[in-house]
Structure 1
């Protein structure tokens, strides 16, 4: 890896030198990618870039032209088209300077796309596997659509949709991905996450348990504490509905959840199927019995309006999504509650962690234990044929096909999940030390030099990209690696004031808190020099916990001593 310092320049004060190095790290990476963009899509003789080839190349990385993170680029391109009166941007060959002015506002995400820094570097190859699995499952004609709700019984059994959205917003869809369907029990997981955000886990689990029931999902029973077993079965979901904004009017409660779902799905399709709502309400004897049974056992919070709560529960089950919008909801869970496209922190990390835990143990009805054993991923199914599958820190997948097996899970969706983990090491325990498998990890680039890995690691720390750092840690990168100047990711993150990155490196990655660069400076010195006392406090606290002696700060004289 090339030096990040200005060795050929005259000596300068160290503080300025380090600041220059941190900023220069990002700038060098941008220049590197700019050059690559020109090599990939440019004409050296004419000094122009083919915008249509660039857009196709962007699509190949998994980004869509409609991605909200490319809003300014789309607007700039349209202004340019209007200015030259060009009706077809695919015919445009534009100058390099013009091209850079068009993409400059969104350069950071474009840099990530073309430097293979997204979570799935070879997204095209990954999509090929998804297409193969989709085609294999398409031939599965087992199962029948849910029959106890008349509107669901009429579903077309040939419908089959798969949509993928990664935590970096890479997207791929195939099949009937724009056909709306109701969430049904898949809403249970989302409602539980919302309730946790409102009341915390303590406030929610006063009223509902967290154990797999071992019983049918709508069985008339409670746990040994006289509570519903968990939020992923009917009784627990009715209780969760009772906990969501109970002080609001019925209309405002629905609006609250609808708006939260809309944020989870990044503003993509979300509807309400009134016919399914009425059909479900008419055939709800068991759910009414569950509600009265829980009221008899004094399970509900005081003042719960039972019939209004049941209506609310039926309404939430009757919310409509498509596989496309469902994948983005699942990806938001995979991304710790932050929508990958909008950056909206919809859910708290704690709420997502607890939700994924119960999805893993209770999300697939009576098949939950076997699914956890064979697939090893959090998921939630619904009798509409939907399955929301989450690969934490990697992607969300929405699967939809109406024919169900005897457990109430989509036959094709369950087969897809099995096939997925047979090809990729996505199972929670595929990466155990000493466990060798022939499965591949699509999160790993095919061939990366140590220099490139280090470069990307330090760039991620400078840019405050926690998702990228997590991927480096999961893939076994040396999180304490040093560049030519002895700078580590902790040095860089501290210099830029990225407190969350500093905490992650110290407590999750267990890096040494006081490494020295070639000037003898530690991250603690950088925290002082660049005015980030909060980062310094975390470094001191971590050092004390590990029994590491805190060195004296460098003197002012040292600040002006360059190597």
Structure 2
């Protein structure tokens, strides 16, 4: 497996030159666009890592399926989906247009920014400190990494430049969809996106989804099976921004990308995969990372379809 992964990384390294690192969050400009790494953890807990697997990066939108699982555990399906829809939007992840043109103005799904902000607002806790503590505890449990924490430089940068997210949140507040304090919700959301991870962390989370919410190492149930199913379904239909349909055809693995360059993928009953490549395509997905997953899916016949 390690030889196969090395070959796939080597063959797709050239694609890093065809994209660019994210610049709208200035701190993300510091990434090296030539980085490309992968980690796979299978159901026997074998761990395979090659390339830039030791590099840390902020989780960004890869956090969205994880907070969705926590919000569903906190509130149940009925409440969550009264505030956020279940359909692909077909628009960029930071689009604000459909919030204004669709009535009621609930976000189309939890994987776009407006939907993710709503999901973050539903995390339980008596104040933001308690909500953040619960969120970090959940991320650490799923990743198997007790040292997972926030990159405060990225968080401050997100907070200072997050005007578009602020506009979405205030629009949701004006429509009566968002009930919590906007600035507190956004503060928590920016911290959520600034959690620092490696590909191994993403692979472990992906594996816990692949095993339907059960930690294969000790049999502990971390996520209810039905919630795990819902999360994976959103990853298929909406996880790769407005390239999700194309990705489903070419790769066919439930996946979620982030503008930090990470992709978390989950192959039900088989493995979790973490990929890192900060050079992005025009949709905001890791340009070489998508190619790596495409090759891997083809070689190992991983498509769920």
TM-score (norm 1): 0.52
Q: Does 1:235 align with 2:114?
A: yes
Aligned residues of 2:169 and 2:178 also touching (Cα < 8 A): no
- Corresponding residue SS for 1:172: strand
1:252 to 130, 141, 146: 130
Q: Which residue of 2 aligns with 1:411?
A: 287
Mapping for residues 152-551 of structure 1, pairs under 5 Å: 152-220=28-96, 221-222=98-99, 223-245=102-124, 247-267=125-145, 269-301=147-179, 304-429=180-305
Aligned residues of 2:6 and 2:51 also touching (Cα < 8 A): no
Aligned residues of 1:263 and 1:344 also touching (Cα < 8 A): no
Q: Which has the higher contact order (CA 8 A, sep 6+)?
A: 2
| Post-superposition offset of 1:271 | 1.9
Q: Does 1:148 align with 2:24?
A: yes
Aligned residues of 1:328 and 1:339 also touching (Cα < 8 A): no
Gaps of 5+ in 1: 1-125, 430-563
Mapping for residues 22-33 of structure 1, pairs under 5 Å: none
Within 2, Cα distance between the matches of 1:164 and 1:233?
A: 26
| Post-superposition offset of 1:305 | 1.4
| Post-superposition offset of 1:203 | 1.9
| Post-superposition offset of 1:293 | 0.9
Within 2, Cα distance between the matches of 1:172 and 1:383?
A: 24
| Post-superposition offset of 1:224 | 4.3
| Post-superposition offset of 1:268 | 5.2
| Post-superposition offset of 1:168 | 2.4
Q: How many residues align?
A: 301
Aligned residues of 1:183 and 1:386 also touching (Cα < 8 A): yes
Q: Report the aligned-residue RMSD.
A: 1.3
Aligned residues of 2:214 and 2:220 also touching (Cα < 8 A): yes
Within 1, Cα distance between the matches of 2:30 and 2:174?
A: 36
- Corresponding residue SS for 1:139: helix
TM-score (norm 2): 0.95
Aligned residues of 1:167 and 1:332 also touching (Cα < 8 A): no
- Corresponding residue SS for 1:174: strand
Within 1, Cα distance between the matches of 2:19 and 2:299?
A: 25
Q: Does 1:132 align with 2:10?
A: no
Within 2, Cα distance between the matches of 1:281 and 1:426?
A: 38
Gaps of 5+ in 2: none
Return closer, same or farther for 1:226/1:373 CA change in 2, 3 Å cut-off. same
